[in-house]
Amino acid sequence: MRFTPHVTVATIVEEQGRFLLVEETADGRAVFNQPAGHLEADESLMQAAIRETLEETGWDVELTAVTGIYLYTAPSNGVTYQRVCFAAKALQQRDNYQLDDGIIGPQWLTREELVAQPERWRSELVVRCIDDYLGGERFPLALLRD
């Protein structure tokens, strides 16, 4: 059996105690996730995080740190994901930006609002990444090499 983990990126964007999340459709239900997605050919992890954040929220961001690298196997399908999570600051929201298919829209939620809805998490990584961020986990972007 061939083991092929999927490399993904995610972005934590926080403003005044609220986090930029994506409300999206997954397996026929509306769920919350960080702006996140798969690394594409010929792009860096940082480029992927900036691209995915824009495509899913309409927000331009500036990456400030790496908050963690996670290995997660989805119980729903057995697929293993390696997620590189970044901290970023919001720069600007683009008016009328066409979001990716399956995206309902961006939402700004507090941790408490998110924790009150565990059935709406895309995975437990959503809160784990926020908790690591709130716990002060910050690694320099130079940690990653192209």
Residue 110 makes CB contacts below 8 A (sequence gap 6+) with: 17, 18, 19
pTM for the model stands at 0.94
Domain boundaries of the chain, sorted by first residue: 6-141
pLDDT recorded at residue 76: 84
| Rg for the chain, CA atoms, rounded | 14
Phi, psi of 101 (to 5 degrees): -60, 145
Residues 57-79, mean pLDDT to the nearest whole number: 95
Using the predicted structure, report yes or no on whether residue 1 has a pLDDT greater than 80: no
CATH 3.40.50.11810 fits 6-141, yes or no: no
Between 1 and 70, the more confident residue is 70
The DSSP bridge pattern shows strands 18-26 and 29-33 to be antiparallel
| Helix or strand (DSSP H, E) at 85 | strand 80-93
What is the rounded CA–CA span in Å between residue 58 and residue 68? 24
What does the pLDDT look like over 71-91, one tens digit per residue? 999 888 889 999 999 999 999
Residues 101-123, mean pLDDT to the nearest whole number: 96
